[in-house]
Amino acid sequence: MKENTEFKIGKRLESQKRLGNLIMEHYRDAHEVKKSKKHPIAWVSSASPNELLWTMDIYVMFPEAYAATCGARHAAHGHCEVSENNNYEHHLCTYCRNSTGSSIASIQGGEVFDPLPSPDFLLCASNSCLLITKWFEHLSHYWKVPLINIDSPLIDPAMDEKEIVEHVKRQCIDLIDFLEEFTGKKFDYDRLQEVVANGQKSAEGYGQILDVNTHDPIPVTYFDIMAHNFPNLVLRYKPEAAEHFKLMKEELDQRIADKIVPMENMKYRIYWDGVPYWFAMRSLSEKLKELGMGLVTSAYSEVFRFNRLDSNRPLDSVAENIALLYLNRTAGYKAEYTKKLFEKYNMDAGIFAYAMTCKPFSITMYYIADYLQKELGINITEISGDLVDETFFDQETTNTKLEALAEVLDSRNQ
């Protein structure tokens, strides 16, 4: 980290206000669509072939994004209690418990935080999570609507990636047949090309936002960036998503030019591994600033780059986006990928945030941490918590571990 005595401390990003408006408009419009019955509504997993739905004017909702919002608003606990009262295990994924509990409460007329409009059908892909197919099967049961599942096998080094992509592509074609029958409309391949072109521009813009923090000093911490996966996940079919990232990139570049930094006395560049603990981001941010540690980036964001979209080969690139996802890879692939991130962003240390109920991210975490320590001699601390269930998180214990990491880094620099 460069000496930052000549730098100014930045205020809240203007892009945060614009992001808030985009999120608010998305959920507001969804309820208007449901009321008017102008378009069907689908609930989908984050890494499904959603471009095909947008092409058919399906309004797409993301239970995972909704769960993160509930966690950040400290509303997920009530939804999780509903699911547990209906015999769902406490250690089950809290995104799933939030979604299932809010669904049960909505159907039964119970209390729900800003509920999603009910779905007309569901779509998920098996590329991100061992649980997600079963999770969506239960949603299908409660809402009594069809479920389409895209099978996307784990990419083992011995497997032919082209065969996996073709396997997913064939299912995308089957999905198009379903959508035509469901909507009574012919699929418009020209419209698909437009949707993919918008998504391609959005993904490129989002990647540029993440890459800004390769700069030293960083213009913002990762806490300022992490929620901006929303436009590239939920709204990438619209030109507004790419425009959001264009304006945000300009704002961040201006900060660099004006020598604006996000915190005083930033001494160390820190990596975050795992899904954010959405309910604890403020307290974690304050603690890391106190210790002079700036959070720079995370492999979590790499999941949302969707950088295989190509308007010159729209259907094939949608299939590749689904089949070749970061989460659908082996532990060895993820370890090498994370090593490249450490080198690219010039990390001083890493925080590996184990989520008690999230196996796709957490099950390989200790292996990756051990690999990085051996390969790079990097300092790492491991904390424990969860995505949106606050009962798994202890702030005092976490603070102690972060303080110990800061002490180790300080001693190395003396």
CA 12 to the chain's CA centroid? 22
CA nearest to 69, candidates 278, 283, 361, 303: 278
pLDDT for 158 equals 86
pLDDT, position 157? 87
Instruction: Tell me the backbone φ, ψ of residue 383, rounded to 5 degrees.
Output: -115, 165
375 is a domain residue: yes
Q: Are residues 36 and 101 in the same domain?
A: yes
Q: Is 149 within 8 Å of 72 (Cβ atoms)?
A: no
Question: What pLDDT score was predicted for residue 412?
Answer: 87
215 with 280, same domain: the answer is yes
CB 251 within 8 A of CB 13: yes
Rounded Cα gap, residues 53 and 68, in angstroms:
23
pLDDT of residue 381: 97
pLDDT of 5 reads 61
Residues 270 and 339 in one domain: yes
Query: How do the pLDDT tens digits run along the chain, 414 residues long?
Result: 555 568 999 989 999 999 999 999 999 999 999 999 999 999 999 999 999 999 999 999 999 999 999 999 999 999 999 999 999 999 999 999 999 999 999 999 999 999 999 999 999 999 988 789 999 999 999 999 999 999 999 898 888 999 999 999 999 999 999 999 999 999 999 999 999 999 999 999 999 999 999 999 999 999 999 999 999 999 999 999 999 999 999 999 999 999 999 999 899 999 999 999 999 999 999 999 999 999 999 999 988 887 899 999 999 999 999 999 988 899 999 999 999 999 999 999 999 999 999 987 888 999 999 999 999 999 999 999 999 999 999 999 999 999 999 999 999 887
d(CA 408, CA 145): 54
Same domain, 236 and 373: yes
pLDDT given at position 302: 82
Residues 249 and 209 sit within 8 Å (Cβ to Cβ): yes
pLDDT value of position 3: 53
Question: How far is Cα 372 from Cα 385, in angstroms, rounded to an integer?
Answer: 22
Same domain, 135 and 253: no
198, 106: one domain: no
**Residue 359: predicted pLDDT:** 82
Cα gap 356→393, rounded to integer Å = 9
Residue 130: CB atoms within 10 Å? 12
Specify whether 103 is located in the same domain as 224.
no
C-alpha–C-alpha distance, residues 294 and 317, integer Å: 35
Secondary structure element (H or E) that encloses residue 43, with its range: strand 41-44
127 and 204 assigned to the same domain:
no
Model confidence, pTM: 0.95
For 78, the token pair is: 């009530």
**pLDDT score at 4:** 52
Q: CA distances (Å), 39 to each of 26, 30, 51, 54, in order?
A: 14, 9, 15, 11
- Looking at the domain assignment, is residue 178 inside a domain? no
Could you tell me if 133 and 219 lie in one domain?
no
Q: Does 285 fall in a domain?
A: yes
Q: Which of 103, 137, 154 is the last residue of a domain?
A: 154
d(CA 398, CA 406): 12
The answer to whether 192 touches 51, Cβ cutoff 8 Å, is yes
**Phi (first) and psi of residue 236, to 5 degrees:** -65, -15
Q: Are residues 147 and 196 in the same domain?
A: no
Q: What token pair was written down for 410?
A: 């300080």
pLDDT at 176 (0 to 100): 98
How far is it, in rounded angstroms, from Cα 398 to Cα 217? 26
Whether 119 and 223 share a structural domain = no
Q: Are 162 and 170 in contact (CB under 8 A)?
A: no
pLDDT at 1: 52
Same domain, 255 and 130: no
- Is 173 part of a structural domain of the chain? no
Q: Is residue 7 included in any domain, yes or no? A: no
72: containing domain: 17-154
Residue 159 lies in a domain: no
DSSP 227: G
405 in a domain, yes or no? yes
The CATH number assigned to the domain holding 262 equals: 3.40.50.11900
Q: What is the CATH number of the domain that holds 72?
A: 3.40.50
> How many domains, in total, are found in the chain?
2
Please report whether residue 83 resides in a domain. Answer: yes
